[in-house]
Structure 1
Amino acid sequence: MKKVYIAIACLLVDIACLRAEDNTHIVRLTLKDAITIAQIQSVDAAVALNELRTAYWEYRTHRADQLPEVMFTGTLPSYNKKYSKYQQSDGAYTYVQDNSLGLTGELAIEQNIALTGGKISLNTSLDFTRQLGTGAYNEYMSVPVGLTLTQPIFGVNDQKWKRRIEPVRYQEAKASYIESVEKVTLTTINNFFSLLLAQENMHIAQQNLENANKLYDIAVAKRKIGHISESELMRLKQSALQAKGLLTEAQSGFNANMFQLRSFLALSEQDIVVPVVPETVPGVRMDYHEVLEKAQENNSLAKNILRRQLEADYDVATAKGNRRSINLFASIGYTGKDHTMGAAYNHLKDNQIVEVGVTIPLLDWGKRKGKVKVAESNREVVLSKTRQEQMNFNQNVFLLVENFNNQAAQLEIAAEVDTLAGKRYKTSIETFMIGKIDILDLNDAQSSKDNARQKHIQELYNYWYYFYNIRSMTLYDFINRHNLDADFEEIVKRS
């Protein structure tokens, strides 16, 4: 990732230098450069980064839950001067005055037990109370060490399920981040080729206008010597005016598409972006089985399906665990109390508490059983949906591979037709000038030339769109033959 950032910095420096040296602020932009800038500067990339940051800290929180937690709680101080209700030995009530100052402090170390789903804590505490007023005195109570265990029995082990689900969720989030970055690439390709096609249309319109004006000037001379009719002259004049109108329309389309790409890449409005026609990747042919293997290995769908299945199993386990509930609470340790702090730690006594809480429904009219059945039905729905999603995913991969492999041949044909149509148009102009073809044949040659050029750009767009679409589904670079990966912690820290 450091190399990527260095490349981005160099590219942006080049653009800045170009702005400083050239008053027109012309930026020649290749498809690769546009993709690189978009993956760093675009709003879509920033959204993907924020989603990754959220997933990262959620996973960090999960991991922190598995580690010991040290906590201090205290009251510094607590002052009371009030009357409290007190029941005497004969059952009568009276009010006694409480005038005291208290300090409490407890230090505890807690640890979740992933194996059983319980929690164990080791704690030490000290309480100080000073009775104020007449006959004031101090009282200390210490717990030098205490051990407490809280353990659900027969219930669902939340810790065990979280340890299974959360790593899968984070892997899904990391894959989704790379896919989001690749989707930024697809949007960049759309905007880039829209501008490229608009640029080609503008060049075509400029060339057509120049040729139309040239032919009209020649026709005027021919009309003076009677070699062409007045009707043909007017038709050429009409063609020149139409060409001028088409050029104005093409320039407007170019400016609109340039503004869209410039905004998406977060470039300056002073820049005039000139897209460079990209080349194809020679010798790249996709194999469906290899592409499907990479997609199933790297795509977030596989992690998404696994996570949803685990969550459905967790819901079933939770519903079954809630049918009956038994909780164990046990605490052992030592306690001491005295009027001085030192003595409160010397005269210690055992302090033991064991509680077993039981909740067993005797008559719930099938409510808990119904919740289990609902959870099981929901799990079957999830399994059915995920099977269908996997089948649809495999089909999409197959179609993309077929389209890409076919697109290479289509692009080669379109390039050859483009070249031939250009030569034919040039020849038609020369033939028209010597009077061997009429204006209709010339217009047909011009239309064929324009359509062939537009078709060539469109096929080139399809080629790269299919290529990067496959790359976004597999998260695999088929040119350099390696998985798309990133240092996610470095990305989050850098942001």
Structure 2
Amino acid sequence: MKRSVWILFSFFLFCKGGAVEPMEKTHVLTLDEAIMLARVQSVDAAVALNELKTAYWEYRTYRAELLPEVNFTATVPSYHKGYNSYQLNDGSYTYVQNNYMQMNGQLSIDQNIWFTGGTLSLNTSLDFLRQMDGSSGNRFMSVPLALTLNQPVFGVNQTKWDRRIEPVRYAEAKAAFLSATEEVTMTTINYFFNLLLARENVAIARQNLENAEKLYEVAKAKRRMGQISENDVLQLELNVLDARSSLTSNESALKSHMFTLRSFLALGEDEELIPEVPDSVPEVRLEYADVLSKALANNSFAQNIRRRQLEADYEVAKAKGNMREITLFAQVGFTGTDRRFDTAYRRLKDNQVVEIGFKIPILDWGKRRGQVKVAQSNREVTESKLRQESMNFNQNLFVLVEQFNNQQTQLHLADEADQIARKRYHTNVETFLVGKISTLDLNDSQSQKDEARRKHINELFYYWYYYYQLRSLTLWDFAAGTGIEADFEKIVKH
């Protein structure tokens, strides 16, 4: 009888956890393929790209403000008919009618002067006036050429500060885009391994149910021969019920995780994804000092620290500049006026204007000085926050490096434990069939086998997750030994 039972079970005793049978349309998905799809098709990747585009065009706008700007303004025509008050020689007032049509146009070239903060403009304009009542006629006024300077003397130089802040802001945005791309990869790894573990759980549950049913049939046969107790038979029957419940629960979890990954990768709902266990991992040993130097050189955090420090300094400079306002306005050029268009450009006269205006508070009850103190206090708060954030960043990076280095050992141990637990379970099944161990020992070996398999997949997940988390912080490919770069012009204009 023992030999017949052994033959009955020999075909399944050494089988590994089977895969879930695929539907009609299946998609065998590797981790590399999932990462590639996520970087191209996921909503998170689209959000990161749009944020980069916004930063790119903001930077382009800033760059354009440093270049000459050509403007043409015109009014064609402007018609007025109404009454205005007019004072006579005797001091009394009367109303006179105005009825005229006016047109004007002006062409200007404006240039911001970044090292002084002023604006230099080159203008040419023409005005036309026609009186509709009384001595009607045309009048022209021309300004063939006028050079205008508008210069704040002690105020903050906005253009100069923009030249310091905006390039840092754009560098921060570019680094943030690369980090966001790596974070998309981290999300993909999370969803991928959730699905992988769910499929493994279904495979384990299905195999356990199959084994439980067959072991239960053997136990009933052995009970009829008086070789085991009724308690063992009942325990194996409970194992069958537990295995069926576990299979149902795991199949539901599998569907949920598959839907999540399909939605994230923007794949069709009719595809059944079959994730493949990665057959290799990038085995590298990291040094904290090296990782920290790469993070401070490449990560958007370093640019963020620098930008916020510059912005705090700018607020202090602006508050100090507002303590007194002095502006210089100067214009030199020529102007001409006549009833005819051509002579309006011939009979030219000098046209010069020089103005120096200032506003210095005599008594403001310390308002402007208080604004300076507030800006300086805010800068000190910002500096304290930046120091704390830098310390936290360095500490978190140190912990992450340690976790990654330790994870290599954890992964190797989990792999060995998985293999040993499988062998032990199959050995215990054989031993149970010949009646040398109890159902409790068999159940224990099965639980350890399942737990070892799950732990191996979890450790594999943490290894990949830590690896790409380090990539996102350092923007460095440790396996290839190169930095993570991108053609931003091509990405934005694609």
TM-score by shorter chain over 0.5: yes
Query: C-alpha deviations, 1:130-161, integer Å up to 9, x for none?
Result: 11234321110000000110000111111100
Name the Cα RMSD after superposition.
1.2
Matches within 5 A, 1:11-50: 24-50=24-50
CA-CA distance at 1:366 after TM superposition: 1.1
- Identify the residue that residue 484 of structure 1 maps to in structure 2: 484
- Identify the residue that residue 396 of structure 2 maps to in structure 1: 396
More off after superposition, 276-285 vs 327-336? 276-285
Quickly say closer, same or farther: Cα 1:23–1:234, change in 2 above 3 A.
Answer: closer
Amino acid corresponding to residue 235 of structure 2 in structure 1 = R
- Identify the residue that residue 368 of structure 1 maps to in structure 2: 368
Matches within 5 A, 1:156-171: 156-171=156-171
Contact 2:23/2:272 (8 A) holds in 1: no
Counterpart CA distance in 1 for 2:350 and 2:132 is 30
More off after superposition, 255-264 vs 84-93? 84-93
Counterpart CA distance in 2 for 1:110 and 1:417 is 74
Counterpart CA distance in 1 for 2:178 and 2:194 is 24
More off after superposition, 124-133 vs 441-450? 124-133
Counterpart CA distance in 2 for 1:172 and 1:343 is 58
- Identify the residue that residue 336 of structure 2 maps to in structure 1: 336
Residue 468 (str. 1) matches residue 465 (str. 2) = no
Query: C-alpha deviations, 1:46-85, integer Å up to 9, x for none?
Result: 1111111111111111111101111111111111222222
CA-CA distance at 1:88 after TM superposition: 3.4
Amino acid corresponding to residue 471 of structure 2 in structure 1 = R
- Identify the residue that residue 383 of structure 1 maps to in structure 2: 383
CA-CA distance at 1:226 after TM superposition: 2.0
Quickly say closer, same or farther: Cα 1:320–1:415, change in 2 above 3 A.
Answer: same
CA-CA distance at 1:227 after TM superposition: 1.7
- Identify the residue that residue 140 of structure 2 maps to in structure 1: 140
- Identify the residue that residue 265 of structure 1 maps to in structure 2: 265
CA-CA distance at 1:282 after TM superposition: 4.6
| 3-state secondary structure, aligned to 1:311 | helix
- Identify the residue that residue 4 of structure 1 maps to in structure 2: none
- Identify the residue that residue 276 of structure 1 maps to in structure 2: 276
Counterpart CA distance in 1 for 2:88 and 2:111 is 43
- Identify the residue that residue 245 of structure 1 maps to in structure 2: 245
- Identify the residue that residue 209 of structure 1 maps to in structure 2: 209
> Any gaps of 5 or more consecutive residues in structure 2?
1-21
Amino acid corresponding to residue 86 of structure 1 in structure 2 = Y
CA-CA distance at 1:42 after TM superposition: 1.0
- Identify the residue that residue 229 of structure 2 maps to in structure 1: 229
Query: C-alpha deviations, 1:175-206, integer Å up to 9, x for none?
Result: 11111111111111111111111111111101
Matches within 5 A, 1:6-85: 24-85=24-85
Query: C-alpha deviations, 1:207-263, integer Å up to 9, x for none?
Result: 111111111121222222222222222221111121111111111111111111111
Query: C-alpha deviations, 1:104-144, integer Å up to 9, x for none?
Result: 00000000000100001000000111112343211100000
Amino acid corresponding to residue 76 of structure 2 in structure 1 = L
Count of residue correspondences: 473
CA-CA distance at 1:421 after TM superposition: 0.1
- Identify the residue that residue 493 of structure 1 maps to in structure 2: 493
More off after superposition, 210-219 vs 310-319? 210-219
CA-CA distance at 1:36 after TM superposition: 1.1
| 3-state secondary structure, aligned to 2:485 | coil
| 3-state secondary structure, aligned to 2:452 | helix
Amino acid corresponding to residue 290 of structure 2 in structure 1 = E
| 3-state secondary structure, aligned to 2:323 | coil
Contact 2:331/2:353 (8 A) holds in 1: yes
CA-CA distance at 1:345 after TM superposition: 0.2
Amino acid corresponding to residue 192 of structure 2 in structure 1 = F
Counterpart CA distance in 1 for 2:321 and 2:456 is 64
Amino acid corresponding to residue 109 of structure 2 in structure 1 = I
Counterpart CA distance in 1 for 2:87 and 2:127 is 25
CA-CA distance at 1:89 after TM superposition: 4.2
Counterpart CA distance in 2 for 1:89 and 1:108 is 42
- Identify the residue that residue 130 of structure 1 maps to in structure 2: 130
- Identify the residue that residue 322 of structure 1 maps to in structure 2: 322
Counterpart CA distance in 2 for 1:447 and 1:164 is 62
Counterpart CA distance in 1 for 2:463 and 2:23 is 35
Counterpart CA distance in 1 for 2:135 and 2:385 is 76
Counterpart CA distance in 2 for 1:410 and 1:156 is 58
CA-CA distance at 1:40 after TM superposition: 1.4
| 3-state secondary structure, aligned to 2:268 | coil
Counterpart CA distance in 2 for 1:378 and 1:242 is 63
Quickly say closer, same or farther: Cα 1:279–1:394, change in 2 above 3 A.
Answer: farther
Matches within 5 A, 1:276-315: 276-315=276-315
Query: C-alpha deviations, 1:4-45, integer Å up to 9, x for none?
Result: xxxxxxxxxxxxxxxxxx972211111111111111111111
Contact 2:123/2:146 (8 A) holds in 1: yes
Counterpart CA distance in 2 for 1:460 and 1:88 is 97
Counterpart CA distance in 1 for 2:382 and 2:89 is 64
- Identify the residue that residue 15 of structure 1 maps to in structure 2: none
| 3-state secondary structure, aligned to 2:250 | helix
CA-CA distance at 1:367 after TM superposition: 1.1
Counterpart CA distance in 2 for 1:134 and 1:363 is 54
Counterpart CA distance in 2 for 1:443 and 1:342 is 108
- Identify the residue that residue 5 of structure 2 maps to in structure 1: none
- Identify the residue that residue 458 of structure 2 maps to in structure 1: 458
Amino acid corresponding to residue 281 of structure 1 in structure 2 = V
Counterpart CA distance in 2 for 1:458 and 1:425 is 21
Counterpart CA distance in 2 for 1:230 and 1:469 is 54
| 3-state secondary structure, aligned to 2:435 | coil
Residue 439 (str. 1) matches residue 439 (str. 2) = yes
| 3-state secondary structure, aligned to 2:342 | helix
Residue 107 (str. 1) matches residue 107 (str. 2) = yes
CA-CA distance at 1:90 after TM superposition: 4.1
CA-CA distance at 1:487 after TM superposition: 1.5
Counterpart CA distance in 2 for 1:369 and 1:282 is 59
Amino acid corresponding to residue 349 of structure 1 in structure 2 = K
Amino acid corresponding to residue 392 of structure 1 in structure 2 = N
| 3-state secondary structure, aligned to 1:72 | strand
Counterpart CA distance in 2 for 1:315 and 1:90 is 57
- Identify the residue that residue 10 of structure 1 maps to in structure 2: none
Quickly say closer, same or farther: Cα 1:341–1:172, change in 2 above 3 A.
Answer: same
Counterpart CA distance in 2 for 1:479 and 1:278 is 16
Identity percentage over the alignment? 60
